[in-house]
Amino acid sequence: MNASSIDWNLLVQAARDARNNAYAPYSSFSVGAAVLGASGRIYAACNVENASYGLTICAERAAICAMIADGERNLAAIAVVTEGPEPSPPCGMCRQVLAEFAEDVPVHLVSVTPGVMARTTSLSKLLPEAFRPAMLPGTIAPGGRP
Ligand code: THU
């Protein structure tokens, strides 16, 4: 699916709604993410922090987990909603998790801060030369069922 055939408004609204539920008492940085599966279904999630800090779960990975729990393994797109002077891209760990379930996908980045322009990039730009499941002998990629 290319970026122009995706209903970004729908995906961004789902990410915004999830962001409103973010549990971010330590950083105060609320993140919402919505992933679009190849089926057309949308899975949204927010970041969930923890008093031990290191156990924090990013919104993007939480959204991917929701997609997998629903039985869907092909990622078509992702929208991420944050707040601040520029739209915030997924962290390195989340990029690697996204790369497990797609060769490449459009990544739409939105800041709720007034006047900040949204931008669309791609997973291959954010994570060139990703380590992929296919690099492990005997696996089916990406996100394939064994
Ligand atoms: N965070 C995300 O949810 N996604 C990212 O890709 C970057 C960071 C969260 C983790 C933490 O709760 C807060 O943002 C500050 O790092």
Q: How far is the CA of 31 from the centre of ligand 1 (A)?
A: 6
Look at ligand 1, atom 2, and give the residue with the nearest C-alpha.
58
- The answer, yes or no, to whether residue 67 has pLDDT greater than 90, is yes
Average the pLDDT over 19-26 and give the result. 98
* Angle ∠(17,14,114) on CA atoms, nearest 5: 65
User: pLDDT tens, 27-56?
Assistant: 999 999 999 999 999 999 999 999 999 999
User: pLDDT tens, 87-101?
Assistant: 999 999 999 999 999
- The answer, yes or no, to whether residue 1 has pLDDT greater than 90, is no
Task: Report pLDDT for 19.
Answer: 99
CATH architecture, domain defined by 3-135:
3-Layer(aba) Sandwich (3.40)
* Banded pLDDT at 58 (limits 50, 70, 90): very high
Closest C-alpha to 120, from 83, 77, 85: 77
Extents of the domains making up the chain = 3-135
* Banded pLDDT at 141 (limits 50, 70, 90): low
Q: Which residues have C-beta atoms less than 6 Å from ligand 1? A: 24, 27, 29, 31, 47, 49, 56, 58-60, 90-91, 94
Which segments within 2-133 are labelled E, that is strand? 32-37, 42-46, 75-82, 106-111, 119-122
Task: Report pLDDT for 139.
Answer: 66
Task: Report pLDDT for 143.
Answer: 63
Q: What is the rounded distance in angstroms from the CA atom of residue 107 to the CA atom of residue 35?
A: 9
Pocket test for ligand 1, best of 19, 56, 81, 94 (most atoms within 8 A of CB): 56
